[in-house]
Amino acid sequence: MNYFRDVSALHDVLGMLYEKAPSEARRAELFRLLEEWEFTPDQASLYASTVLCRNAEGSADWMATNAGHIVGSWIRGEQEGAVGSWLSTMKETWKFNVDLT
């Protein structure tokens, strides 16, 4: 399966879809493109419906803005126990690259 090299590449593809495809055909066109990139039909369908959930003119910009919010490192921590007794600590770290992998 191929991936978009970064968020701006996906933004460019979505922008082109908005210029060249009527609104009712955009999801199908993105689905077709993703299948050509070796996505399975289920993956392509989920991806197209998620990225184009509103299928409005600003979807490409909204996708880029939202992707910008999650790119980078995220840490989640949790502690259980009482002061002066047993303490359990858990830490999870996620890193989202610019291509959202």
Q: What is the pLDDT of residues 7-47, one digit of tens each?
A: 888 899 999 999 999 988 999 999 999 999 899 999 999 98
Instruction: Enter the tokens of residue 95.
Output: 């890193």
Q: What pLDDT score does 56 carry?
A: 81
Tell me which of 54 and 1 has the higher pLDDT. 54
* CB-CB neighbours of 49 under 10 Å: 13
Radius of gyration for the alpha carbons in the chain, expressed in angstroms and rounded: 19
User: Helix (H, G, I), strand (E, B), or coil: what is residue 87?
Assistant: strand
> Considering only CA atoms, which of 44, 40, 42 is closest in space to residue 29?
44
pTM of the entire predicted model: 0.68
N-to-C CA span, the chain: 13
Tell me which of 62 and 88 has the higher pLDDT. 62
